[in-house]
Structure 1
Amino acid sequence: MVERRSMEKRHIYITALHLYHGGAEMAICNLANGFAERGYPVTIWCVYKLCEPVYRLHPSVDVEYLTGDKPNRQEFLTALRKCHLLTAFREGMRSVGILYRKNRVIMNKIRAVKAGVILSTRLEHNRILARYAQSGVLKIGQSHYGEHFDKRLAKWIGREYIYLDYFVLLTESLRVEAEKIMRKDCHCKCISIGNYLEDEVQKKLQAVKDVEREKIVLSVGRLSPEKGFERLICAWKKVSPNFPQWKLVIIGDGAERAKLEALAGEIRVTFTGNIAHDRVLELMKQGSVYAMTSYTEGFPYVLLEACNAELPVVAYDVPTGPGELVRDGETGFLVPDHAEDIYCARLEKLLRNPDLCQKMGKKGKKYVERFTKQNTLDQWEKLFY
């Protein structure tokens, strides 16, 4: 465990786009809480105020909202799709203004800090931090997503991140990849630190009464293209006729919802929209299987929660994310990406065998116990001194 310093704790500033639903947003709140509990002054700089923070924040964590803007990407895309060219032009110009302002306010905040730690959580914020932070500031860039660095992105990161002190990736495979693209004379060190579940979440899962598992396949996430819910619905269309007592429950909301509901048609799929986090945990304790069909992931909190709720997982083995949290054949199944027939077969195997579900679920909970709050915060604290 990291030795506690008697010196005054450094102020930690964390950048965020918003504090609405999302794995990255939960990670930001968890880190802020963990740092605050260890005595650090913590401020979150939040670009958009879409709502009050969805996830719990420690009373001492300060949140500063930097603009009155809200993103308008969906309005712009809708206007384009409907060929409303004048509206699309207006929304495009508004989007340019929003982009300029959101980068400007982050830059101004970073420039004004003379000492402490700044933890930026988005690729563009990392670039601004590397360029504009003062010399007395510890500069830590972070990626919450499972980016694999194509040639253009690799060149951009290698050029823009050289003056960061640390670039923190969620998985070891991403760390190795990032290290390869950094220049040899680069000041920045690449580190891998995963996520953890708040103690409160684990207590809530433990507090939910153990009931007989219902015949529910559960999936949680933002209804956007990268989450691949259309793949899940297509697989469920093939599987569900053989299992008339089972239903698929999809928790979350987003721009793809209407499209996904239309794709589901009359098959047994329930879309809950965004619901309270406590209710998500209850459903995880009631369900029998967790299904993930994302095209890309970072270090998915939802899988940490599912494994802690003793749900076996079926997931596509995309480059990062599921492979960090699922042991194929032991705690669930990792399926080669795009192999829909294999995905359906693995899902059917679990639906036919409740004893296997229970066995894998218990192993899954044990497997993710290593992602503890103490270990994760100790790794972060080593960077501060």
Structure 2
Amino acid sequence: MTVATDPRERDIFLFSNTTDELGGVTAWMHQMARLFRTHGHRVHTLGVHPAELKLTLPEPLGYPMTALHPAHPTAPRRLTGPRRLRPAERRREAAHAADKQRAVDALSALFRAARPGGVVIVTQVWPMEWVRAADTTGLTVIGMSHESYAYTRACHRYRWIKQNYPHVDHWLTLTQEDADDWIADGMHNVGFMPNALAHLPEVPSPRTAKVVASIGRLHDQKGIDMLLDAWALVAPERPDWTLRIYGAGVEEADLRAQCTGLGLDGSVRWLGRTDDVPGALAGASVFVQSSRGEGFPLALMEAMASGVPCAAFDCAPGVREIVRDGEDGLLAPPGDSGALADRLLRLTGNPRLRDAMGVRARKNVQRFSEGEILRAWEELFGLLEL
């Protein structure tokens, strides 16, 4: 991979909720850490705390990885009413505040050791609490949001962004459409930066197996319950096809019960988390994504890079930025399981359509190659130094 610019070396801190959680944001952080490091930068990955559900990371990493707290920290609370007079409550909250201050001091020490011109990239909203309390003198602070404007607008992270992100040097969404929505909402220091395609397999999927694959955490956001509802409409029409669900998470027991209740145990395989995404995709002919909300989904890009056509809910600008509906994949209205079933029936029932869309998907997704995205980052660093 070559990048046209010849940047000077920088210290880059990548700060997420955790450094090792199984999920797309953490995978993105380590992908970018590797890219920045191979391009001559000194990289340090940071997390608020270690995760319980771990992402498998290569060893050795080649860059430091630091968690500021040994476990998920309890936020100090403002004591009101009778609680503020209870000595035990006051001691507990004082301990929480002192614990956070120790973490902030440790973060400040890391930042002060950086060379001039260093960059802090805060990949999720929560860690900005620590960054804003730390000493960032001489550093450029970039905030990020890895989800769509609409998804953030509907939850508590909207308030956090409105409170914290006006104070950063620059912040990034994943698409121009999301950036425009935030600008219309009064945020004026915002741009966009797509995720990078992590891997382009040398050989695409042969698309011969009668398999539909889903890859993602078993979490409400990923909408596997809606996928099962859709598959209940597909399975009777495609009795020789199998749905393989790769992933783990807190919803697994409920989802398995739903699967049984829908009479799908004969056509659904629960395969748990996988560290071999290319292998999972090589054994599939169709990829399905049923999320309620997304940012710029890496699994969708990986499927397309493997030449596997996708059926997905059009739940975010990032999804329709990646998939060109009708050209290299098929999109369904968000949350409409019947429409998603229709797209799956079209792809599973027409091998010529699958092959044509798969070939175009593999070609089109390369516009998000690591080289292109790294070049965009280097240009952004240069602009922020002006």
Q: TM > 0.5 between the two?
A: yes
Deviation by residue 1:251-272 (Cα, 9 ceiling, x = unmatched): 0000000111111114111111
2:161 paired residue number: 157
Q: Distance in 2 between matches of 1:282 and 1:305?
A: 11
Q: Does 1:118 align with 2:120?
A: yes
Q: Distance in 2 between matches of 1:257 and 1:19?
A: 21
Q: Distance in 1 between matches of 2:327 and 2:281?
A: 19
1:60 paired residue number: 62
Q: Does 1:313 align with 2:316?
A: no
2:273 paired residue number: 274
1:264 paired residue number: 259
Q: Distance in 1 between matches of 2:333 and 2:32?
A: 32
Q: Distance in 2 between matches of 1:226 and 1:240?
A: 24
2:366 to 347, 352, 369: 369
Q: Distance in 2 between matches of 1:337 and 1:111?
A: 43
CA displacement at 1:316 relative to structure 2:
1.0
Look up the equivalent residue of 2:13 and give its one-letter code: Y
Deviation by residue 1:55-106 (Cα, 9 ceiling, x = unmatched): 447743111233221589xxxxxxxxxxxxxxxxxxxxxxx99997886565
- With over 3 angstroms needed to count, the CA separation of the structure-2 counterparts of 1:50 and 1:272, relative to structure 1, is same
Task: Tell me the SS of whatever aligns to 1:124.
Answer: coil
1:383 to 374, 380, 384: 380
Q: Distance in 2 between matches of 1:336 and 1:259?
A: 25
- The answer to whether the Cα contact below 8 Å between 1:36 and 1:58 also exists between their aligned partners in 2 is no
CA displacement at 1:322 relative to structure 2:
1.6
- The answer to whether the Cα contact below 8 Å between 1:218 and 1:291 also exists between their aligned partners in 2 is yes
Q: Does 1:196 align with 2:196?
A: yes
Work out the percentage of aligned pairs sharing the same amino acid: 27
Q: Does 1:234 align with 2:229?
A: yes
Deviation by residue 1:264-305 (Cα, 9 ceiling, x = unmatched): 1141111111122x2x21121121111111000000000010
Look up the equivalent residue of 2:45 and give its one-letter code: I
2:179 paired residue number: 175
1:107 paired residue number: 104
Q: Distance in 2 between matches of 1:181 and 1:46?
A: 29
1:206 paired residue number: 202
Q: Distance in 2 between matches of 1:54 and 1:132?
A: 30
1:296 to 290, 293, 298: 293
Q: Distance in 2 between matches of 1:53 and 1:334?
A: 29
2:47 paired residue number: 46
- The answer to whether the Cα contact below 8 Å between 1:33 and 1:57 also exists between their aligned partners in 2 is no
Q: Does 1:247 align with 2:242?
A: yes
Task: Tell me the SS of whatever aligns to 2:202.
Answer: helix
- With over 3 angstroms needed to count, the CA separation of the structure-2 counterparts of 1:218 and 1:127, relative to structure 1, is same
Which runs of no fewer than 5 residues in structure 2 stay unpaired?
Answer: 75-92
Q: Does 1:37 align with 2:41?
A: no
Q: Distance in 2 between matches of 1:101 and 1:362?
A: 56
Q: Distance in 1 between matches of 2:323 and 2:206?
A: 24
Query: Which sits farther off after the overlay, 31-40 or 57-66?
Result: 57-66
Task: Tell me the SS of whatever aligns to 1:275.
Answer: coil
- With over 3 angstroms needed to count, the CA separation of the structure-2 counterparts of 1:304 and 1:183, relative to structure 1, is closer
CA displacement at 1:140 relative to structure 2:
0.8
Query: Larger RCO: Structure 1 or Structure 2 (Cα < 8 Å, ≥ 6 residues apart)?
Result: 2
- The answer to whether the Cα contact below 8 Å between 1:250 and 1:271 also exists between their aligned partners in 2 is yes
CA displacement at 1:107 relative to structure 2:
3.2
CA displacement at 1:383 relative to structure 2:
2.7
- With over 3 angstroms needed to count, the CA separation of the structure-2 counterparts of 1:55 and 1:66, relative to structure 1, is same
Deviating above 4 A after TM superposition, structure 1's stretches of 4 or more consecutive aligned residues are 96-106, 151-156
Task: Tell me the SS of whatever aligns to 1:384.
Answer: helix
- With over 3 angstroms needed to count, the CA separation of the structure-2 counterparts of 1:64 and 1:128, relative to structure 1, is closer
1:166 paired residue number: 170
1:75 paired residue number: none
- The answer to whether the Cα contact below 8 Å between 1:44 and 1:61 also exists between their aligned partners in 2 is yes
1:15 paired residue number: 15
